Amino acid sequence: MGGDVERPNRKQQRSPRPAVAPGPPTGSASGPYERSTGNLVGRGGLSRMPANAPVTRQIDRLLRDPRWHTNPLEVGWAIITRYRRLGIATEVGRAALAMARDELTASRVISFTERHNIASRGVMEKLDMNFVGEIHARGLVEGQTEEANDAPFAVYATPVR
């Protein structure tokens, strides 16, 4: 069937993607950097959610996982517009999830985004995260320009380890 033919994937068919470094070449800002220029291309990584914060409690009720409750890790990203759709968010997410698994021995990690943010939801699915439900918090509601106190957010989680 396959033979030795190499078929280009979608990323290879696009314009060349910037090589991304995981941290700053200099200074104190944190985030992915374009290796060739040192330009910041976004931010992202792991964070520990504050215990008993309203959003953390909502996610806790969705997961019903006491191990996540004791180590509530979230992976997130924000990529500068001109660097989007180049796989950078996926790269940041994969690195963060590897750290959570290998160094922090996390049982699972969550990620959440406004329900209508299809691009970030796609990244979560590429990271093999599963949709576990919705929460409501301050954020953007599709079709509105102002933040709302009760915006719907889609929550994804890695499988239980």
Q: What is the pLDDT along the chain (161 residues), one digit of tens a residue?
A: 333 333 333 333 333 344 455 554 444 446 788 878 888 999 999 999 998 899 999 999 999 999 999 999 999 999 999 999 999 999 999 999 999 999 999 999 999 999 999 999 999 999 999 999 999 999 999 999 999 999 999 999 999 87
- Residue-level pLDDT at 22: 52
User: What whole-number distance in Å separates Cα of residue 148 and Cα of residue 150?
Assistant: 5
41 neighbors 83 (Cβ within 8 angstroms)? yes
- Residue-level pLDDT at 30: 61
Which residues are CB-contacts of 112 (< 8 A; sequence separation ≥ 6)?
55, 59, 74, 135, 153, 154, 155, 156
pTM tops 0.95: no
- Residue-level pLDDT at 142: 95
Domains and CATH numbers, the chain: 40-157 (3.40.630.30)
- CB atoms inside a 10 Å sphere around CB 89: 27
- Residue-level pLDDT at 17: 43
- Residue-level pLDDT at 10: 37
